[in-house]
Amino acid sequence: MIAAAAAVLSLLGLAGVHRQAVGYSALHSKPSSAVAGGSGRNAITEKIHTTCVAKFSEDGTVKLPELYIDVVPDVAASNVYLMETSSAAALPPRGLCGVESFCKLNPHAPVWFLVASQSFEPSTLAALKALQAAYQNLCVAHLNFSRHFEDTPLLELYLSKKFNETGE
């Protein structure tokens, strides 16, 4: 599955797929933008903070910015990309922990968490909201695979649902 994700990122013009899981503390601590004694913000993270914000409504729905429609990664920046491709409504704590880890370990780099789903369970919404409040360098964006795979051989693979199958 990592190879498939790398191929997708390559097709989209993005580089680097990373996976890691450590402490998931954003949900258990007060939001803070402080990084290494500073404000934790630079021009890149400030741009992410103002342009890449999920819109949470009172009814529990979320409107994520769409990659290449609402937000575009700065190709000159040292971006970190993570993808969730299953369209799951609930993201597991291990996955959210990985997102937090990359935000914490790369405080001056934009961390792009690209998700296929536009709707999430309340617990996942709360976790994403807490992570975005805690890490100014986090951008959670919707990746519309059908739109990006249009007119490519990957569209048939994606629509066949084999895209999300993993071999064990």
Q: Give the tens place of pLDDT for each residue, 8-49.
A: 555 555 544 333 333 333 333 333 333 333 444 555 555 555
Indicate the DSSP class of residue 150: T
Around Cβ 41, how many Cβ atoms within 10 Å?
A: 18
What does the mean pLDDT of the chain come to? Answer: 75
State the pLDDT confidence band at 119, using cuts at 50, 70 and 90: confident
End-to-end CA distance of the chain, in Å? Answer: 10
Residue 93: its pLDDT value, please?
93
Average pLDDT of span 114-119 = 88
Structure tokens that stand for 94 in this block: 């291990």
The pLDDT of 119-142, averaged and rounded, is 90
Tokens for 151? 């007119």
Give the pair of three-digit tokens for residue 141: 């964006």
pLDDT tens-digit map of 97-110:
999 999 999 999 99
Rounded CA-CA distance 98/96 in Å is: 5
Burial of 113-135, coded b for 16+ CB within 10 Å and e otherwise, reads bbbbbeebeeebbebbbbbbebb
Which residue type does 58 have? Answer: E
Whole-number pLDDT of residue 9: 55
Helices (H), 40-82: 43-51
pLDDT reported for residue 138 = 94
The more confident residue out of 125 and 38 is: 125
| 2-17+40-164 to CATH, choices 3.40.30, 3.30.750, 2.60.120, 3.30.450 | 3.30.750
Nearest partner of 157 among 167, 144, 141, 146, judged by Cα:
146
- Could you count the other beta carbons within 10 Å of the beta carbon of residue 145? 19
Stretch 105-130: mean pLDDT, rounded?
90
Q: Model pTM greater than 0.75?
A: no
